Amino acid sequence: MLNTLVRRFAQMAFVMFGISVLVFLIFFATPGVDPAARLAGRNASPEVLAAVRASFGLDQPLPIQYLMMMKKMFITQDLTSFVNRGQMIVPELVQAAPVTISLVVGSALLWVGLSIPIGMLAAAFKDRFLDRVLMGLVIVGISPPVFWLGEITNLITQSRYHDTWLFSWVPPLGYIPFSEDPWGWFKCLVLPCANVAVLYIGIYARLLRSNIIEANQQDFIRTARAKGLSEWQILFRHSLRTSLITFATLFGLDFGFLVGGGVLLTEVVFGLPGIGKLTYESLRVLDLPTIMGTVLWGAFFVVASNAIIDSLYAFIDPRARHAS
């Protein structure tokens, strides 16, 4: 037990290390590109360029540069943005986190809450009218780009129909912290969460449907019928339960990805100052230190969620518990 935990942790550490090296290489060592100019941002003056070179040790061999960057990032925590007048990056990240987390948790509740019934109904009524309608809606829902969908939502709710009773409650684009106004916080998140959820409801409903259909072909479903269970009992207790294993695994991975900044586009479109928006802002001005920070944060969450899912897998799938 302890052995596997240690092994898993070591693996996670290795991957994080690998990612940090990769990030470093991308920003510092891409052939044909000058790192100092990247770091200092566009149109940097020669003094700034020289300062950057010194601070990051760009004249030193690559491994030293890597260590210096890591030190600035984690130990001294004084990684500052050259473009944003000395703004410290780590605190900025910490401040943006609750926004992203609120958005992702809200979306997750919506998408899990809706995709399970939709997937189940579609599987239960396979190839009949309800199934076709649901799957048709779903496949349309996953087609538009998420940022475009957000723009259209804004068009409708902020501009065209804003004055109608339907959407007059929609606050202007932006974030209202929970501590400031809980109801406002809720209102400002409803549409962005729905925006993210549309895509994921589609993906997960389709996934669940196909898993349930596959589970229904298994022998144990036949046994359940032979025991005298009704079709709905079989669906809920046997097909669904077995299908939820994959569902939960993928959910964990996607959740980790989104919290790490995968909701970037939605945050931008709805003006929510989360990690994703921070990444975007730093992109626009080519503020490399901030980009580095946000990318590492994102990668960390993906790796962490992978590790958590791996550990929990034995919990959700009894077959994995006693791997000999």
Q: Which of residues 6-65 bind another protein (CB under 8 A)?
A: 14-15, 18-19, 22-23, 26-27, 30-33, 38
Does 262 bind another protein (CB under 8 A)? Our answer is yes
Phi-psi region at 229: left, alpha or beta (left = phi > 0; alpha = psi -120 to 50): beta
Nearer to another protein, 53 or 186 (CB): 53
Provide the token pair at 127. Answer: 């190839």
Closer residue to another protein in complex, CB, 195/216: 216
| Distance between CA atoms of residues 27 and 192, nearest Å | 32
As a whole number of angstroms, the distance between CA 238 and CA 212 comes to: 9
**Residue 280 within binding range of another protein, rule CB under 8 A:** yes
Would you count residue 154 as binding another protein (CB under 8 A)? yes
List the structure tokens of 322. Answer: 């006693």
Check: CB of residue 267 under 8 Å from CB of residue 276.
Answer: yes
The answer to whether 288 contacts another protein (rule: CB under 8 A) is: yes
286 binds another protein (CB under 8 A): yes
C-beta of 183 vs 220, nearer to another protein: 220
Using the minimum distance from each CB to another protein, give the nearer residue, 48 or 177. Answer: 48
Q: How far is the CB of 148 from another protein (least distance, A)?
A: 4
Interface with another protein in residues 176-235 (CB under 8 A): 216-230, 233
> Would you call 228 helix, strand, or coil by DSSP?
coil
| Least gap, CB of 321 to another protein (angstroms) | 8
Q: Which is nearer to another protein, 109 or 155 (by Cβ)?
A: 155
- Judged by CB under 8 A, the residue of 284, 311, 312, 315 near another protein is 284
User: Residue 297 is encoded by which pair of tokens?
Assistant: 């944060």
Nearest to 305 by CA among 265, 237, 251, 261: 251
Q: Does 245 bind another protein (CB under 8 A)?
A: yes
- Closest distance to another protein from the beta carbon of 268 (Å): 8
Q: How far is the CB of 242 from another protein (least distance, A)?
A: 6
| Minimum CB–partner distance for residue 113 and another protein (Å) | 22
**Is the CB of residue 79 less than 8 Å from the CB of residue 257?**
no
Residue 264 lies near another protein (rule: CB under 8 A):
yes
Nearer to another protein, 130 or 314 (CB): 314
**Closest C-alpha to 101, from 298, 258, 294:** 258
Residue 7 or 321: which CB sits closer to another protein?
321
Q: What HEC string does 190-218 produce?
A: HHHHHHHHHHHHHHHHHHHHHHHHHHHCC
Alpha-carbon span 273 to 203, nearest angstrom: 26
* 257 scored as a contact of another protein (CB under 8 A): yes
